[in-house]
């Protein structure tokens, strides 16, 4: 038996009845009509193949498989000095009691002792049954992601989540190894809406930075139906324009990852006043040497010393283990290319007991020269780093509508949570989003009559704007949105600004005036007076803000924010900053953004090329375009020699958004692995291009 999800035209329920009458060997196991129009079907492959001939079926979506990396499962009793515990975020008296949270992910190990009490059910959109368990090893590449996410939200046992009394439902949209399509994700969301979820968490996404990708559209529809949807912003940072769908959705909360204050170790050689930055490897004990130690470049001479080794083809664990067996106190592994690297030395059977860290090639060469010339001793020193934004956290803005994303930040590094058979540290915006989903559950319990807009507005209004570790200037809006969430302040806030992220769009003409209306609510029982700090006069930019306004008790009011932009007096590109609104000593920082004429955003992205389901001779391609475009060409190159092979696709009449088409197998040439060069000719005649690997099936 095989499972597929199909999109249909017309009434999905009528088509269900038709299939039951005329295709009795195909089972219709689910009907979707809220977030998209479709059916979930099961049957033997030859029976499902008949669906392709039915005119009312727009698209057939089979499972696509992707590989994910999993790390060693750790016991909660293991020493985790740098671990972030989800419950630390909850400084309120609330626990999320009575709030239903749907986890759209890889499933949940609902037998885990810390999750079994709160797990209430769900659905499996991969196997199309009522058992949303994580993929087990005997079923394929095992998964643990959804269990980790669920624990952050609502673990209630040896480990505590942010909202330990919330009711957890699992919707398995990603199968073995993290396999799934956008339609499976949308179908999972639809089922969650049908089951009455109050909150949905989606710690998943793609690389398409556009507001109208199907998953983003579905997220907005779910929000319109009253569900609080929380999304991971993506792990493609630190570059801008890296937020991907569905985190580009305008009506959900997109979450970036913050890192806690850190005591970062580095090595110091006092005579040369030389500092050597370290990157402790995954699976290594914390680098915490209490005195200075000599350094040697030979593993067999490392007894009581720090072993300085070079990165090569030998696995990092094997190099470090040999040094440990020779009595090394610690191991440094110098990179063999420029820059730093993040290594892994985990081993289930025989874990290392000494710290192992990576250093740069340049520092490795310097240390090696000093060690050979004379006795070299290194001290361990520490740098105190403020809470900041994780390098991997994706940045905005969103293309096409130029929204500021993320909306908020939450802890996303070294997060300890549940996994099948134990606990594990993971990091990513996948870990940040469930912190916010748990916080939403706390606010829903505390304020049951608040709307989605009020809940989201309260979390945004009270977020803590983050500053740089150097000069104390605020970090850019496209990196942090409103800042780090603070659940207690959100619940107790005197003011809610429902839409405080001010995206003025793209300005093209000589001079334009743009206006955005924000809604400000006084939640108290007394009158409150607010005032804007009028920004300093800036060439090419003039703000028109109400200097003061007053709200009566429980009153809300729409406030216009106007900016006049002279494009000739400003540099082209993205302009962003902050406006300040104050009330009786309380300050609210509103991020703003506009694009002057053009920006360095990607003009095309998300190229996909694959065989059409149940077909052996028709290929489908898709490409997302963000700017007015004359044409797009996809050329194939040999990935080894970079010699051009042929043109695969030529697209004209290109639209902003998703563009799709089909090619016959006879027209695409030889199968194999290629490097695709996607070239976009914009309407102004300029060319933009990017590369992506493509595999053509034989």
Residue 635 lies in a domain: yes
Whether 158 and 248 share a structural domain: yes
Looking at 573, 596, 619, the residue that finishes a domain is 596
Whether 366 and 229 share a structural domain: no
Q: Write down the pLDDT at residue 80.
A: 52
Q: Write down the pLDDT at residue 76.
A: 56
pTM of the entire predicted model: 0.84
Which domain range does residue 648 map to? 604-696
Q: Write down the pLDDT at residue 374.
A: 75
Q: Domain holding 361: CATH number?
A: 3.50.30.30
What phi and psi values does residue 366 have, to the nearest 5 degrees? Answer: -65, -45
pLDDT in tens, 583-613: 999 999 999 999 999 999 999 998 888 888 7
Q: Which of 144, 150, 171, 145 is nearest to 96 (CA)?
A: 150
**Run of H or E residues at 18:** helix 12-22
Whether 142 and 267 share a structural domain: no
Residue 484 lies in a domain: no
Q: Domain holding 449: CATH number?
A: 3.40.50.200
Distance between CA atoms of residues 432 and 636, nearest Å: 38
Looking at 461, 482, 505, the residue that finishes a domain is 461
Query: 388-418 burial by CB neighbour count: b if 16+ within 10 A, else e?
Result: bbbebbbbbbbbbebbbbbbbbbbbbbbbbb
Residue 385 lies in a domain: no
Q: Write down the pLDDT at residue 206.
A: 81
Q: Which two tokens stand for residue 360?
A: 């740069």
Q: Which of 588, 581, 589 is nearest to 549 (CA)?
A: 581
Whether 253 and 268 share a structural domain: no
β-pair type (2-8, 38-43): antiparallel
Residue 356 lies in a domain: yes
Residue 487 lies in a domain: no
The helix/strand/coil state of 186 is helix
Cα-based angle 500, 505, 511 (whole degrees, multiple of 5) = 115
Distance between CA atoms of residues 457 and 255, nearest Å: 14
Whether 376 and 432 share a structural domain: no
Average pLDDT of adjacent 10-residue blocks, the chain of 698 residues: 83 94 91 88 86 84 40 47 87 97 97 97 93 93 94 97 98 87 88 97 88 88 96 90 92 94 85 88 84 89 92 90 94 85 77 92 90 85 84 92 96 92 89 97 98 97 89 92 98 96 93 95 97 90 94 96 94 96 95 94 89 82 92 92 92 90 91 93 90 87
Whether 315 and 361 share a structural domain: yes
Contact 450, 490 (CB under 8 A): no
Q: Domain holding 665: CATH number?
A: 2.60.40.10
Name residue, tokens 């709200």: 551
Residue 438 lies in a domain: yes
Q: Write down the pLDDT at residue 78.
A: 46
Distance between CA atoms of residues 92 and 442, nearest Å: 8
Residue 152 lies in a domain: yes
β-pair type (57-61, 38-43): unpaired
Active-site amino acid positions: 105, 145, 430
Whether 242 and 132 share a structural domain: yes
Tally of structural domains, the chain: 5
Whether 375 and 406 share a structural domain: no
Q: Write down the pLDDT at residue 63.
A: 42
Whether 681 and 615 share a structural domain: yes
Q: Write down the pLDDT at residue 347.
A: 79
β-pair type (199-202, 100-105): parallel
Looking at 461, 482, 507, the residue that finishes a domain is 461
Distance between CA atoms of residues 674 and 696, nearest Å: 8
Residue 475 lies in a domain: no
Whether 224 and 135 share a structural domain: yes
Distance between CA atoms of residues 278 and 554, nearest Å: 53
Handedness of CA 159, 161, 162, 163 (dihedral sign): negative
Contact 442, 163 (CB under 8 A): yes
Q: Domain holding 7: CATH number?
A: 3.30.70
| Count of C-beta atoms within a 10 Å radius of residue 58 | 12
Whether 398 and 375 share a structural domain: no
Measured between alpha carbons, how far is residue 226 from residues 90, 192, 284, 430 in Å? 24, 12, 45, 23
Whether 217 and 274 share a structural domain: no
Q: Which two tokens stand for residue 450?
A: 């608040």
């Amino acid at each position: 038996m095989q499972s597929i999800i199909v999109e249909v035209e017309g009434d999905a329920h009528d088509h269900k009845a038709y299939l039951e009458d005329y295709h009795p060997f195909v089972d219709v196991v689910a009907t979707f009509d809220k977030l998209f129009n479709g059916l979930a079907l099961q049957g033997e492959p030859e029976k499902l193949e008949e669906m392709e001939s039915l005119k009312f079926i727009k698209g057939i979506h089979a499972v696509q498989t992707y590989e994910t990396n999993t790390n060693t499962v750790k016991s909660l009793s293991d020493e985790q000095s740098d671990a972030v515990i989800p419950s630390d975020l909850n400084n309120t008296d609330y626990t999320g009691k009575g709030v239903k949270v749907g986890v759209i992910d890889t499933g949940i190990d609902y037998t885990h002792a810390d999750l079994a009490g709160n797990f209430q059910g769900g659905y499996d959109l991969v196997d199309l049954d009522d058992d949303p368990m994580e993929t087990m090893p005997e079923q394929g590449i095992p998964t643990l992601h959804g269990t980790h996410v669920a624990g952050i939200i609502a673990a209630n046992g040896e480990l505590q989540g942010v909202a330990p009394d919330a009711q957890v439902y699992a919707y398995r949209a990603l199968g073995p190894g993290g396999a799934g399509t956008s339609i499976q994700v949308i179908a999972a969301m639809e089922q969650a809406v049908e089951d009455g979820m109050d909150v949905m968490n989606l710690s998943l996404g793609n690389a398409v930075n556009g507001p109208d990708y199907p998953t983003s559209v579905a997220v907005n529809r779910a929000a319109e139906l009253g569900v609080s949807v929380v999304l991971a912003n993506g792990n493609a940072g630190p570059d801008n324009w890296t937020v991907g769908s569905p985190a580009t959705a305008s009506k959900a909360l997109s979450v970036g990852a913050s890192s806690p204050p850190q005591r970062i170790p580095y090595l110091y050689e006092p005579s040369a006043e030389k500092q050597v930055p370290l990157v402790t490897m995954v699976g290594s004990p914390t680098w915490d040497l209490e005195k200075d130690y000599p350094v040697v470049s030979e593993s067999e001479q490392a007894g009581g010393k720090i072993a300085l080794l070079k990165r090569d083809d030998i696995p990092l664990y094997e190099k470090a283990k040999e040094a440990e067996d020779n009595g090394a106190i610690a191991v440094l592994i110098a990179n063999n290319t420029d820059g730093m690297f993040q290594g892994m030395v985990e081993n289930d059977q025989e874990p290392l007991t000494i710290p192992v860290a990576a250093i740069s090639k340049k520092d490795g060469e310097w240390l090696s020269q000093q060690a050979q010339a004379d006795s070299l001793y290194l001290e361990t020193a520490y740098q105190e780093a403020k809470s900041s934004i994780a390098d991997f956290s994706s940045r905005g803005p969103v293309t096409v509508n130029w929204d500021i994303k993320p909306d908020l930040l939450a802890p996303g590094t070294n997060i300890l949570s549940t996994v099948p058979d134990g606990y594990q540290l993971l990091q990513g915006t996948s870990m940040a989003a469930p912190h916010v989903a748990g916080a939403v559950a706390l606010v829903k319990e505390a304020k049951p009559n608040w709307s989605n807009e009020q809940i989201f507005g309260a979390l945004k209004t009270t977020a803590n704007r983050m500053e740089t570790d150097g000069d104390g200037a605020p970090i850019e809006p496209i990196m942090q949105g409103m800042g780090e969430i603070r659940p207690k302040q959100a619940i107790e806030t005197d003011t809610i600004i429902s839409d405080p992220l001010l995206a003025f769009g793209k300005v093209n003409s000589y001079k334009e005036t743009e206006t955005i209306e924000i809604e400000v609510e006084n939640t108290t029982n007394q009158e409150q007076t607010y005032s804007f700090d009028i920004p300093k006069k800036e060439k090419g930019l003039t703000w028109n803000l109400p200097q003061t306004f007053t709200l009566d008790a429980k009153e809300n009011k729409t406030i216009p924010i106007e900016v006049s932009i002279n494009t000739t007096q400003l540099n082209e590109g993205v302009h962003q900053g902050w406006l300040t609104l104050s009330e009786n000593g309380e300050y609210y920082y509103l991020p703003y953004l506009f694009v002057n004429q053009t920006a360095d955003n990607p003009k095309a992205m998300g190229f996909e090329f694959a065989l059409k389901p149940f077909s052996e001779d028709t290929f489908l391609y898709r490409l997302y375009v963000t700017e007015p475009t004359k044409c797009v060409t996809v050329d194939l190159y040999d990935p080894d020699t970079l010699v051009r092979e042929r043109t695969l696709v030529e697209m004209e009449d290109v639209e902003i958004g998703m563009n799709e088409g089909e090619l016959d197998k006879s027209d695409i040439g030889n199968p194999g692995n290629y490097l695709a060069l996607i070239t976009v000719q914009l309407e102004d005649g300029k060319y933009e291009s990017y590369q992506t690997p493509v595999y053509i099936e034989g």
